[in-house]
Amino acid sequence: MRIAVTGATGYIGSHLVSAFCRKHEVYAIVRTTSETAGIQAYVKEFIVYDSEQVYGRLAAIQPEVLIHLAGVFYGEHTADNIENLLNANLVFSTVVFDAAVSAGCKKIINTGTYWQQFAKEDYNPVNLYAATKQAAEDILMYYVKARRCSAVTLQIFDSYGPDDNRKKILNIIRDLEDGARIDMSGGRQKMYYCHIEDLVSGYARALELLAEMAPGTAVRYALREEEPVMLRTLIEEFLRIQGKRLEINWGGRAYRDREIMEPAGIGTVLPGWTPRYSWQQGVETL
């Protein structure tokens, strides 16, 4: 199939395009500032984001599927970053949805976050970032209902894997020297961790599911294990596997505002998909 992908230069996106290029033609929608060298071998064409380029090239390519991974994350919004947050997560998303559908694309895989469901409510955003992800999902519903598309939104929890240089806690701890001190929260929050290979297989399964869905329908599914793990348990096991000793000051930092302490029950797991890695097996690959 011809598949257009946003966010292809990110950690999840780069692994996805490297896997999908074996079976499909992959077209990456990127910004002028995107670093594309690492995925050039996997992408048939790079489409630089601006309205004329996106509409024109997608009309010529006529992708059968759009996979929307791109997004900007801020744990807390400020006066300085709010415009970037809205432009990236709302304006960019809407333009890409519209350009793809205008080009005849009727199947869309969108990416959401479990932070859209604070207190396990159907919709209660943890922060403004989560609110923009919900807003993009709501905008997508217009194309589902009015333009008779089918859409799967995949709800992402915490991801990890080899060669990950994002500023995430496992990577930060991995890169610390033995004996270093680090302040952390109390560590009592529970989390779902999904290995990068399992995330990619989840998007592949969503692609199969789209083929079975009727026009004008949309679903949301989660990519997660059955049971979450307490962050403190995860960190202590990771340190044991790494053979590293750190001075962790548990409780040295406050929990985030509106921290999700218990995510169990958030999201219905994607049918027909089972993660290959438990968190215990996954951290051994780092």
Residue 147: pLDDT band by 50, 70, 90 thresholds?
A: very high
As a whole-number percent, the residues of the chain with pLDDT over 90 amount to 96
Which of 283 and 42 is assigned the larger pLDDT? 42
Q: Could you tell me the sign of the dihedral formed by the alpha carbons of 9, 14, 20, 22, in that order?
A: positive
Q: Which pLDDT does position 93 carry in this prediction?
A: 98
68 closest CA partner among 36, 40, 103, 107: 107
As a whole-number percent, the residues of the chain with pLDDT over 70 amount to 100
> Using CA atoms, how far apart are residues 249 and 144, in angstroms rounded to an integer?
49
Within a 13 Å sphere around the CA of 151, how many CA atoms are in the beta-carbon half? 28
Q: Which pLDDT does position 178 carry in this prediction?
A: 94
Mean pLDDT of the chain: 96
Say if CB 156 and CB 190 are below 8 A apart: no
Decide if pLDDT at 51 tops 80.
Answer: no
> Using CA atoms, how far apart are residues 19 and 62, in angstroms rounded to an integer?
21
Per-residue pLDDT tens for 3-40?
Answer: 999 999 999 999 999 999 999 999 999 999 999 999 99
Structure tokens given for 210: 């789209």
Residues in the chain: 286
194 closest CA partner among 150, 243, 228: 228
10 Å Cβ neighbour count for 9? 23
Within its chain, how far is the Cα of 23 from the centroid? 22
Tell how strand 190-191 and strand 229-230 pair up: antiparallel
Decide if pLDDT at 184 tops 90.
Answer: yes
pTM of the model: 0.96
Residue 69: pLDDT band by 50, 70, 90 thresholds?
A: very high
Residue 193: pLDDT band by 50, 70, 90 thresholds?
A: very high
228 phi, psi to nearest 5 deg: -80, 170
Q: Which pLDDT does position 105 carry in this prediction?
A: 98
Beta bridge pairs of residue 53 = none
Q: Which pLDDT does position 153 carry in this prediction?
A: 98
Q: Which pLDDT does position 50 carry in this prediction?
A: 84
Per-residue pLDDT tens for 102-116?
Answer: 999 999 999 999 999
